[in-house]
Amino acid sequence: MPLGGVIFIVIFIALFGAFLVWLAANITGTKPVYNPVKYEPYECGIPGIEKKETKISVKYYLTAILFILFDIEIIFMYPWAISFREFISTGGGAFVFISMMVFIAIFIFGLFWEVKSKALEWD
Amino acid sequence: MGMGKDIFEITVNGLKLVVIFLMMVQMVPILVWLERRGSAFIQDRLGPNRVGPLGLMQLLADAVKFLTKENFVPQNAKTFLYYAAPVFALIPGAVAFSAIPMSSPIQVGTFEMFGSTWGPYTFLVQGYEIGVGIVFILGVSSLAAYTLLMAGWGSGNKYTLMGALRASAQTISYELALGLSIVGVIMLYGTFNLTEMTLAQQGPLSFTFLGHSIAANWLPNWGIFYQPLGAVLFFSAAFAESNRLPFDLAEGESELVGGFHTEYGGFKFNMFFIGEYGHMMIASGLMVLFFFGGYTIPFVSIAELNEWAAGVTSTAGKASALVALIHFLAFNIKFAFFMWVFIWVRWTLPRFRYDQLMDLGWKTMLPWALANTIITAFVIFIASL
């Protein structure tokens, strides 16, 4: 069986465990009694005035985009890191080291530009 | 790789997966008890001490209380997301925790059962061994960000949505520092496989640098002595990943109520709790594997331990079981220490403000992790000349 199958077994076990807990909670739990206030969205004891869709800051969106950018660059370092010693032992160490330093220099430039353009300022 | 070649091996491997899942789930109430007693100790209080000896039965009482709570869906909630979020909170923890090697493999020789001979087996003390262990664990555990968003969006409440956005923005920001801080570790061991990393850390500290052989017999050959900065960055980022204090900005009584799980109660809340503790367990496990020698015992190599075990037991199978037990204990002592550090830090440090948190992640930890990578690469490169 390929590895994917084993992972699905673990997911299934977790789902099954959650199902058992849900079942136990439904058997032992108190039966819901209707009360209009209870079903309202939580709002520190006063009637809620906002609609359910609230406005959110665009900063989160920006952070997510920057994350994707930098995370992909970091993922590129993994295969390099794992084969770095192999390259050194076969004599290609200097080439691999310098090319990665160029890549990291671009990375640092990107980070610097990002800080400079105040994309990371939270106020 | 796989479940096994005959019915016995498949059964044992399948049971192993269940046992590891239950281990993860069962550790949560114990850790909650430890956290409450530990916080009481730190704050000069008593903590739970009424239910059972030392308050240990408190766990059982809490579980029963969670189960007997009323189960309802708030009116604005999106029912599927609302129910799916706590269930999915369990999965990343369970899948990633199964990939952590907790002990050396157990060898089982041939034996007779049900009138037929069952061949020699090797059982790993981990759910499954996986070649790209680190990448897999990091990838799976970062799926938890989806859980937060599902819970926040599915509850249909502005506090939950804001809390979820905060928590996920924090999680992904620290993911960068977390991912980058272990590039040095990968370079050091030259492998993604967690078992190979563990085996590389046995014996006393010794390495060659510029043609000189350097050895320190009074130190174990642990990763922390090669990657101290990486260890600090990794552990701090792991705190932020698991939304623990001092980085628990997802919750805030005065501004966000309970964060993304404001609308959750009873067993659904409990599952979020298991997910959070699962993250802490994975972080502690990885900390032990990368920087503190995994399941190896300091100063004692695995070969020496195998030799000793072969002397005191009758068969090879029993010897490997004894060695596995000792390694399992060694792993758990280190593991428990890091779990205690999580609790200790929570009750020692004050929280950050949100802008400070993001600044720390992007402007301090990311550059330091980058510096760590460059220095490690440079030193490895120089050492080979």
Rounded to whole angstroms, the Cα distance separating A77 from B181 reads: 11
Q: What is the pLDDT of residue B2?
A: 60
Mean pLDDT (whole number) for B212-237: 85
Judge contact between B202 and B323, C-beta under 8 A: no
State the nearest Cα–Cα gap between A2 and chain B, in angstroms.
6
Cβ within 8 Å, pair A111-B17: no
For every residue of B212-225, DSSP letters joined together read EEEEEEEEE--GGG
Calculate the dihedral angle through the C-alpha atoms of A47, A56, B168, A43, rounding to the nearest 10 degrees: -10
Judge contact between B184 and B368, C-beta under 8 A: no
- Supply B101's token pair: 């090697």
Three-state SS letters, B120-167? CEEEEECCCCCCCHHHHHHHHHCCHHHHHHHHHHHCCCHHHHHHHHHH
Cβ within 8 Å, pair A30-B69: yes
Query: pLDDT-based confidence at A1, cuts 50/70/90?
Result: very low
Q: Give the one of B17, B71, B366 whose C-beta lies nearest to A26's C-beta.
A: B71
Rounded to whole angstroms, the Cα distance separating A121 from B147 reads: 26
Rounded to whole angstroms, the Cα distance separating B331 from B20 reads: 15
Per-residue pLDDT reduced to its tens digit, B317-334: 888 888 889 989 999 999
State the nearest Cα–Cα gap between B143 and chain A, in angstroms.
13
Phi, psi dihedral angles at B275 (to 5 degrees)? -60, -45
Spell out which residues of chain B touch residue A105, defining contact as CB-CB under 8 Å: none
Cβ within 8 Å, pair A6-B21: no
Rounded to whole angstroms, the Cα distance separating B132 from B6 reads: 26
ipTM of the complex: 0.84
Rounded to whole angstroms, the Cα distance separating B302 from B199 reads: 8
Cβ within 8 Å, pair A14-B21: yes
Cβ within 8 Å, pair B172-A123: no
Q: What is the pLDDT of residue A52?
A: 58
Q: Which residue has the tokens 């490997």?
A: B320
Rounded to whole angstroms, the Cα distance separating A74 from A69 reads: 9
Q: Considering only CA atoms, which of B330, B234, B223, B226 is closest in space to residue B282?
A: B234
Rounded to whole angstroms, the Cα distance separating B114 from B163 reads: 58
Per-residue pLDDT reduced to its tens digit, B37-51: 888 888 888 888 888
Per-residue pLDDT reduced to its tens digit, A21-62: 888 877 887 777 888 777 777 777 777 766 656 778 888 888
Q: Where are the beta strands (DSSP E) in chain B?
A: 103-108, 111-113, 116-118, 121-125, 204-209, 212-220
State the nearest Cα–Cα gap between A92 and chain B, in angstroms.
11
Neighbour-count burial for B15-47, b at 16+ CB within 10 Å, e otherwise: ebbeebbeebbebbbebbbebbbbebeeeeeeb
